Amino acid sequence: MAQDLHTQMLKGILQGCVLIILSRGEYYGYTLSQELEKYGFAEISKGTIYPLLMALEKKGLITSQLRPSPDGPARKYYQVTSDGMVARHDFIQQWHQLSQHVTQLLAAEEGMSHDDQGRPTR
């Protein structure tokens, strides 16, 4: 159950993070993975990144362009669209609001006493 919750939370957050990164310039899948890893998202697999990119492209939030690579097969480069920039802005606003609420909740939780099973007591 904990892993399912982690996966669901991560999927929503990753969409916003990918839009933020792509708003800085074009990336192909591997370089996008490297950029996410720089920010602590080391556990993100290719099996997560590519379906996410396809979903964002289907929604019109990003576009892709296949280009030749000097190192082998052609690479698909992704960039954010104007709709993607709006979604990026919305994500940032929602994240600030949500993180503020969660921080307040956690601060209240940390100030409470708990029983031997971890449940808050009054």
pLDDT in tens, 43-84: 787 788 999 999 999 999 999 999 998 888 999 999 999 999
Closest alpha carbon to 54 in 30, 73, 31, 78: 78
- pLDDT of 121 > 90? The answer is no
Q: How far apart are the first and last CA of the chain?
A: 28
Q: How confident is the model at residue 120 (pLDDT cuts 50, 70, 90)?
A: low
What are the boundaries of each domain within the chain?
7-112
As a whole number of angstroms, the distance between CA 24 and CA 1 comes to 35
* CATH code linked to domain 7-112: 1.10.10.10
Percent with pLDDT over 90 in the chain: 59
Average pLDDT over residues 94-109: 88
- Segment 38-46 shows an average pLDDT of 85
Specify the pLDDT at position 48: 86
